[in-house]
Amino acid sequence: MKRSIVLTLSDEELIELERIILDDDEEAALCFLQKHFKNKARATLDGESHCKPYFEMPGRRSIPDQFKNRVDT
């Protein structure tokens, strides 16, 4: 099963990531991964990720009310 992790980075963080890639800096890469992915990876594995389709959220119906009477043209 594939799962997605969404990562939002500031301009400074993107520059840091680019520097790590260009310098082939393994130690900095590990620190970057631990800083930005550690909690997100654990939450995704535990099923606590906040990014879920509407129908997978607790208490939600498979089709939201606003779309029930929708007629495709």
Q: pLDDT by residue (tens digit) across 13-33?
A: 999 999 999 999 999 999 999
52, part of any domain: yes
50, part of any domain: yes
36, part of any domain: yes
Return all residues near 7 (Cβ < 8 A) that are at least 6 apart: 36, 37, 40
Q: pLDDT by residue (tens digit) across 33-72?
A: 999 888 877 777 777 665 555 555 566 656 666 666 665 5
Q: Which residues in 43-55 are b (16+ Cβ under 10 Å) and which e?
A: ebeeeebeeeeee
The reported pLDDT for the residue numbered 25 is 96
35, part of any domain: yes
User: For residue 26, what are the domain limits?
Assistant: 11-63
Report d(CA 15, CA 19) in Å as an integer: 6
- When divided into structural domains, the chain yields a total of 1
Cα dist from 34 to 10, 24, 28, 38, whole Å: 17, 17, 10, 5
